[in-house]
């Protein structure tokens, strides 16, 4: 069973944090799905991933194309997690306990300056941990990521 990691973004925007986490997931050998609830958010992230430095370029595609199964990183709205090792939920996109159990890692990234996003992340944490998922909560602290909470899912 995988684990879900919550990332409380307070010092770095999603556009800076996501490429770093995608790189770590790919470094672990995982195929990555970035799931959002709003297609405009995915378009913004797609543009950001294309603008990276050549040395840090992360090949990716938008869901719905002819080569979705070959994309190491796929950006989609309501795209199923089948065939991925890691799902990164942004923009309040849903994640189920069943998905967490099937994946190597699930990441929930949320804007710490948005009260609605924080409330939604708290709801997700409670639902997933109540369902038995292992979870970690990470927050930014003076430029570093610090683990602030952990649930064994028991």
- For residue 143, the model assigns a pLDDT of 86
- Between vectors from CA 106 to CA 31 and to CA 93, what angle results, nearest 5°? 100
Structural domain containing residue 23: 3-151
Contact 91, 115 (CB under 8 A): no
C-alpha angle with apex 94: 99 to 76, nearest 5 degrees? 90
- pLDDT per residue rounded down to tens, the chain (154 residues): 689 999 999 999 999 899 999 999 999 999 999 999 999 999 999 888 877 666 667 788 899 988 999 999 999 998 999 999 999 999 999 999 999 999 999 999 999 999 999 999 999 999 999 999 999 999 999 889 999 999 997 6
- Kindly report the number of other CB atoms within 10 A of residue 151's CB atom: 18
Listed in sequence order, the residues at least 6 apart from 89 whose beta carbon sits closer than 8 Å to its beta carbon are 35, 36, 95, 106, 107, 108, 109
Helix (H, G, I), strand (E, B) or coil at 98: helix
- Number of independent structural domains in the chain: 1
Tokens 């409330």 found at: 119
Q: Which helix (H) or strand (E) holds 47?
A: helix 39-50
Q: How many helices (H) and strands (E) does the chain have?
A: 4, 8
User: What CATH number has the domain bearing residue 133?
Assistant: 3.40.50.10110
Q: Which residue has the tokens 């190597």?
A: 104
Question: Model-level pTM?
Answer: 0.93
């Amino acid at each position: 069973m995988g684990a879900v990691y919550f990332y409380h973004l307070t010092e770095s925007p999603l556009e800076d944090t996501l490429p770093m986490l995608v790189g770590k997931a790919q470094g672990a050998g995982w195929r990555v799905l970035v799931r959002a609830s709003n297609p405009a958010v995915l378009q913004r992230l797609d543009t950001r991933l294309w603008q990276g430095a050549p040395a840090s370029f992360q090949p990716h595609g938008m869901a719905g194309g002819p080569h979705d199964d070959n994309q190491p990183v796929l950006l989609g709205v309501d795209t199923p997690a089948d065939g991925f090792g890691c799902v990164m939920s942004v923009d309040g996109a849903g994640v189920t306990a069943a998905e967490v159990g099937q994946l190597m890692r699930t990441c929930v990234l949320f804007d710490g300056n948005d009260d609605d996003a924080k409330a939604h992340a708290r709801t997700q944490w409670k639902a997933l941990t109540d369902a038995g998922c292992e979870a970690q909560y990470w927050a930014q602290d003076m430029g570093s990521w610090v683990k602030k909470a952990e649930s064994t899912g028991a």
